[in-house]
Amino acid sequence: EAGVVQSPRYKIIEKKQPVAFWCNPISGHNTLYWYLQNLGQGPELLIRYENEEAVDDSQLPKDRFSAERLKGVDSTLKIQPAELGDSAVYLCASSSSYGGSYNEQFFGPGTRLTVL
Partner 1 sequence: AQKVTQAQTEISVVEKEDVTLDCVYETRDTTYYLFWYKQPPSGELVFLIRRNSFDEQNEISGRYSWNFQKSTSSFNFTITASQVVDSAVYFCALSDGGGSEKLVFGKGTKLTVNP
C-alpha span between 108 and 72 (Å, rounded): 17
Beta carbon of residue 104, minimum distance to partner 1 (angstroms, whole number): 6
The DSSP string of 58-99 is TTS-TTTEEEE-TTSS-EEEEESS--GGG-EEEEEEEE--SS
Q: Which is nearer to partner 1, 74 or 81 (CB)?
A: 74
Residue pair 5/108 in contact by the 8 Å Cβ criterion: yes
Q: Which is nearer to partner 1, 41 or 80 (CB)?
A: 41
C-alpha span between 54 and 16 (Å, rounded): 26
Beta carbon of residue 16, minimum distance to partner 1 (angstroms, whole number): 26
Q: Which is nearer to partner 1, 64 or 112 (CB)?
A: 112
Residue ranges in contact with partner 1 by CB under 8 A: 3, 31, 40-45, 48, 56, 89, 91, 93, 95, 101-110, 112
Q: Which is nearer to partner 1, 67 or 93 (CB)?
A: 93
C-alpha span between 69 and 43 (Å, rounded): 21
